[in-house]
Amino acid sequence: MKLNLMKAVSLIVVFGVWATASADTSYREVWVCKIKEGKEMDDVRAANSKWVKFVRANVDKGISSHILTNVVGNATVGNFLYVDEFPSLEVWTTAKSALEGNKEGEAIDAELAEVAECSENSLAEAEDS
């Protein structure tokens, strides 16, 4: 009886540590972009929505994306950020390669490039605090 109780407690502790570590960490890729001349934010939203639909269907349903525009600070018209969230580095890597060599993925990538020019990006580990 005592041995079974110890096994159960050990299993709960191990699961708790794993769940805490897994649930609190994700990865965010941030792209700094500017809308191309003749395009509008609606064009950016439409292209980004296609990307989200594609990666969720072909890579992982846990991927999300946000478009950020400043309301305070450098609020230059046409500047915005994409912030894409990935549940793991493996999912991020898979999402990157999923567009390549895939006709639909390459068309979405081309549409994203048509609507905005992104000058830099970074990938960061994000954790809840």
Domain ranges of the chain: 25-127
The count of residues in the chain is: 129
Q: Find all residues with CB under 8 Å of 15, minimum gap 6, and list them.
A: none
Please give the chain's pLDDT, 129 residues, in tens: 434 333 333 333 333 434 444 557 899 999 999 999 999 999 999 999 999 999 999 999 999 999 999 988 887 889 999 999 999 999 999 999 999 989 999 999 999 999 999 999 999 999 988
The CATH number of 25-127 is 3.30.70.100
- pTM score, whole prediction: 0.79
- In sequence order, which residues have a C-beta less than 8 Å from that of residue 50 and are 6 or more positions away? 108, 111
- In degrees and rounded to multiples of 5, residue 40 shows phi and psi of -130, 165
